[in-house]
Amino acid sequence: MTLARRDDDLYLIDLLDRLLAGGVVITGDVTISLAGVDLVQISLRALISSVSRLVEP
């Protein structure tokens, strides 16, 4: 089984797809934070701000 070596950024995107939209989400009052709350929104905000930092002169 071979796994093609990939560009690091693309790999990060695959990883974030999985870690921010996948994985078990435990709801309930013992978790102090992030019981699935808008995590994808948060990461998108992070990505947007990093993209606009790149685009802005």
Partner 1 sequence: MSDTLVYLYAVGRAALRTVVPAGLTGIAGAPVRALVADRLAAVVSSVDALGFGAEALRRNLDDLSWLAATARTHHSVVDAVWRREPVAPLRLGTVYVGDDNVRAMLHEREAAFLALLSRIRGRQEWGVKAFTATDPDVEPDEEGDGAELRPGAAYLQRKREVRDRTSRLRAEVHDAVEDLHRVLATSAQQSRRYVLQDPRLSGHPPNLVLNAAYLVEQATSSAFTSAVDGWRSPYLQVELTGPWAPYSFATLEES
1 touches partner 1 (CB under 8 A): yes
Nearer to partner 1, 1 or 56 (CB): 1
From residue 18 to residue 37, the character string flagging contacts with partner 1 as x (rule: CB under 8 A) and all else as - is xxxxxxxxx-x-xxxxx-x-
56 touches partner 1 (CB under 8 A): no
Q: What span, in angstroms and rounded, lies between the C-alpha atoms of 39 and 57? A: 29
Across 29-54, b (16+ Cβ under 10 Å) vs e yields: eeeeeeeeeeeeeeeeeeeeeeeeee
Give residues in contact with partner 1 (CB under 8 A): 1, 3-4, 6, 9, 11-26, 28, 30-34, 36, 39, 42-51
